[in-house]
Amino acid sequence: MGRTPETEREDEGAGHRGAYYSGARAALPFALATGLLGVSFGVLAGSLGWGALAAVASSVLICSGSAQFAVAAVLGAGGGPLAAIVAAVLLNARFGPMGLAVGPYLKGGPLRRALEGQAVIDASWALASRGGGRFDREFMIGASAPQVVAWIGGTAVGMLGGDFVGDPERRGLDAIFPAFFLVLLVEELRGGRSAIAVALIAAVLALLLVPHAPPGVPVIAACAAALFGLRRSR
Amino acid sequence: MTTLWLTILAVALANAAIKASGPVLVGGKEIPPRASAVISLLAPALLAALVVTEAFGEDGALVLDEKALGVGVAGIALLLRAPVLVAVFLAALTAALARAFV
């Protein structure tokens, strides 16, 4: 919030430990939302007859709300495993461009970079964005930690504790995620006019594609709006 | 149940591969300015697309429902400089109330 280049330089001086910690702290509100969503995923998986072990294992191994809800939705509607896998891959394809963006700020050889790339989660990635294409590696990894814990813990609670959350939709939980992406978008828009122009183009592209393309594709296609950056840089 | 486990494992592997691809591809190289100008705009593009698809997309159709209403209220709260948690909470509350009473 309101980071100036000056305060940012001070943060860097505070050392890596501090950055991991501030990332974790900044992610707490999102971890709370993620935990609640994890509970609703656990309840959903339970209602579909997944065993507790399978539900929790999916949260540990896949560790991605969008992919797991997609798998549950496709399998739950009687779809085959291939359809479930394709849906999950399309939804998570956005981590491709996100990884390209943080890539230069990660450390080490290919293996370590591949491992560090696993810390890319929507909220952490956006929180760690420092404008102008720069990213704070330690902040992002720190921000992912509480969210991963909350997601796995939430899944277990939803699975075992059953139904105290009730129908996630009736509790309005499905509105949490778009609202929280909106929060992050508002932060990004402070980055200036090109950011606003790109956001508008991307939103229109995505909306136009929603009725015609499989879920996940509109988000990937909307990345094309970032090509607006070529125009700016002559 | 084996199908479920195989699906979970396959999705886990695919997801890990997708997340690894970007960082491995760019390596530790300096990014040319033109490319970094594009990369720096990926964040607003992705976030805007996520907001509208999650708020208005429902099974491959555009809908204006209680969820979209909740997101709209969160947007207004943010414009009024409400704290993040308040805005997100208002989104959920609005959607829940609209579903219960409208």
Mean pLDDT of chain A: 85
Check pLDDT > 80 for residue A94: yes
Interface of A with B in 87-106 (CB under 8 A): 88-89, 92-104, 106
Which residues lie closer than 8 Å to A7 by C-beta, 6 or more apart? Answer: none
Run of H or E residues at B61: strand B61-62
Q: CA-CA distance, A14 to B80, in Å (whole number)?
A: 32
Asked whether the beta carbons of B44 and A189 are under 8 A apart, the reply is yes
Check pLDDT > 80 for residue B102: no
Q: CA-CA distance, A152 to B69, in Å (whole number)?
A: 29
pLDDT (0 to 100) of residue A8: 44
Question: In angstroms, what separates the C-alpha of A165 from chain B's closest C-alpha?
Answer: 12
Question: In angstroms, what separates the C-alpha of B30 from chain A's closest C-alpha?
Answer: 7
Lowest average pLDDT, out of A81-85, A177-181, B88-92, goes to: A177-181
The model's confidence at residue A130, banded by pLDDT at 50, 70 and 90, is confident
Q: Please give the average per-residue pLDDT across A184-205, as a whole number.
A: 89
Tell me which residue in A179, A219, A229 faces B70 most closely, judged by beta carbons. A179
Instruction: Take residue B95 and report the two structure tokens written for it.
Output: 């959607």
**Which residue would you say has higher pLDDT here, B102 or A168?**
B102
The model's confidence at residue A175, banded by pLDDT at 50, 70 and 90, is confident
Nearest CA in chain B to A75: B4
Mutate which of B46, B66, B97 to disrupt the A interface (most A C-beta within 10 Å)?
Answer: B46
Q: Please give the average per-residue pLDDT across A1-23, as a whole number.
A: 61
The model's confidence at residue B65, banded by pLDDT at 50, 70 and 90, is very high
Mutate which of B51, B78, B89, B99 to disrupt the A interface (most A C-beta within 10 Å)?
Answer: B51
C-alpha dihedral sign at B23, B29, B34, B40:
positive
pLDDT (0 to 100) of residue B83: 85
Nearest CA in chain A to B44: A199
The model's confidence at residue A166, banded by pLDDT at 50, 70 and 90, is low
* DSSP reduced 3-state for B58: strand
Q: Is A78 on the interface with B (CB under 8 A)?
A: no
Rounded to the nearest angstrom, the gap between the alpha carbon of residue A16 and the centroid of all alpha carbons in its chain is: 23
Highest mean pLDDT among A88-92, A230-234, B16-20: B16-20
B58 pairs with which residues across the strands? B61
pLDDT (0 to 100) of residue B1: 59
Q: CA-CA distance, A166 to A151, in Å (whole number)?
A: 18
pLDDT (0 to 100) of residue A162: 64
The DSSP letter of residue A224 is G
Q: CA-CA distance, B72 to B55, in Å (whole number)?
A: 9
Give per-residue pLDDT as tens, A43-84. 889 888 898 999 999 999 999 988 998 898 888 878 889 988
Helices and strands: H and E segment counts in chain A: 14, 0
Residue type at A82?
L
pLDDT (0 to 100) of residue B12: 97
Instruction: Take residue A161 and report the two structure tokens written for it.
Output: 């504790």
pLDDT (0 to 100) of residue A76: 83
ipTM of the complex: 0.84
Run of H or E residues at A98: helix A95-102
Q: CA-CA distance, A96 to A166, in Å (whole number)?
A: 34
Q: What is the CA radius of gyration of chain A?
A: 18
Largest Cα separation within chain B, whole Å, is 56
Q: CA-CA distance, A138 to B70, in Å (whole number)?
A: 33
pLDDT (0 to 100) of residue A14: 52
Domains of chain B by residue range: 2-25+48-101
* DSSP reduced 3-state for A135: strand
Check pLDDT > 70 for residue A234: no
